[in-house]
C-alpha cells in the first residue's frame, strides 16, 4: 500500500525491511536496522504518544530516534525530548480510516491505487472483486 500511495514521489523511498524481515515487526527492531543510515525521526500522533510508555522498550526507541509528535485534539502537546510537529490537528487515525472503509465510506481518504488494492484483496471486511 505504501508503494502505491507514494508512487511517483521522487523524494520519498518506501522501505520493505519490515516485510522482508517477516513475522511480527516492532518499532525498535526497525529503528535498529535503520540506525546505521543516519539520524532517525519517529513521527507519531499525540494519541500514540499518550500510550508510548507501553510500547516495547520505549527508552531504547528514544535512544535511536527523535520523537516528533503531530497534534491531536484532546491530547496534550508533547513534553520532554519529543518535538512538536507544527501543523493543525488532524482528527483522523489509521483506525478511523480502516473503520470507514469497512463500512463502505471513506473512499476519499486513500489514494485511488490504494483503494483499488483494498477492494481487490477484500481488506478491512470488504469482498474481493
Label residue 78 exposed, middle or buried (CB < 10 Å: 0-12, 13-18, 19+). buried
Q: Across residues 88-114, what is the average pLDDT?
A: 89
**Do 77 and 71 contact (CB within 8 A), yes or no?**
yes
Q: Across residues 50-77, what is the average pLDDT?
A: 93
Q: Quote the DSSP letter at residue 60.
A: H
HSE (CB half, 13 Å, CA atoms) of 29? 11
Give the pTM: 0.82
For domain 2-89, which architecture applies? 3-Layer(aba) Sandwich (3.40)
CA 111 to CA 109: how far, in whole Å?
7
Range in 4-13, 65-74, 88-97 with the lowest mean pLDDT = 88-97
Q: Across residues 85-104, what is the average pLDDT?
A: 88
Confidence of residue 106 (pLDDT cuts 50, 70, 90): confident
pLDDT value, residue 129: 54
Q: Across residues 90-117, what is the average pLDDT?
A: 89
What cell numbers appear for 75 in the block?
Answer: 491530547
pLDDT value, residue 44: 94
Confidence of residue 93 (pLDDT cuts 50, 70, 90): confident
CA 19 to CA 26: how far, in whole Å?
12
CA 103 to CA 22: how far, in whole Å?
30
Q: Name the residue ranges covered by the structural domains of the chain.
A: 2-89, 92-129
Q: Quote the DSSP letter at residue 74.
A: T
Amino acid at each position: 500500500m505504501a508503494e502505491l500511495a507514494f508512487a511517483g514521489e521522487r523524494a520519498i523511498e518506501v522501505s520493505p525491511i519490515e516485510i522482508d524481515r517477516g513475522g511480527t515487526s516492532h518499532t525498535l527492531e526497525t529503528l535498529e536496522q535503520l540506525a546505521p543510515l543516519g539520524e532517525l525521526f519517529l513521527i507519531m500522533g499525540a494519541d500514540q504518544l499518550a500510550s508510548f510508555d507501553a510500547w516495547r522498550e520505549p527508552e531504547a526507541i528514544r535512544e535511536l530516534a527523535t520523537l516528533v509528535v503531530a497534534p491531536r485534539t484532546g491530547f496534550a502537546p508533547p513534553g520532554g525530548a519529543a518535538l512538536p510537529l507544527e501543523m493543525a490537528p488532524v482528527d483522523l487515525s489509521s483506525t478511523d480510516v480502516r473503520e470507514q472503509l469497512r463500512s463502505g465510506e471513506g473512499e476519499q481518504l486513500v489514494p485511488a491505487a490504494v483503494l483499488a488494492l483494498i477492494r481487490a484483496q477484500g481488506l478491512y471486511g470488504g469482498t474481493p472483486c
